[in-house]
Amino acid sequence: MIHVIATVNLKPGCREKFLEIFNANVPNVLHED
């Protein structure tokens, strides 16, 4: 298993949209294991 630590810099006002997309992808990532 690979663990990744990352920093994400977002433009002001983009946090909610980023979290929506990120959280929607979590099941796909968990399914890979």
> What tens digit of pLDDT does each residue of 2-31 get?
899 999 999 999 999 999 999 999 999 899
**Structure confidence at residue 2 (pLDDT):** 84
The amino acid sitting at 24 is A
> Mapped to the 3 state alphabet, what secondary structure does the chain carry?
CCCCCCCCCCCCCCHHHHHHHHHHHHHHHHHHC
The pTM is what?
0.65
Q: Where are the domains of the chain?
A: 6-33
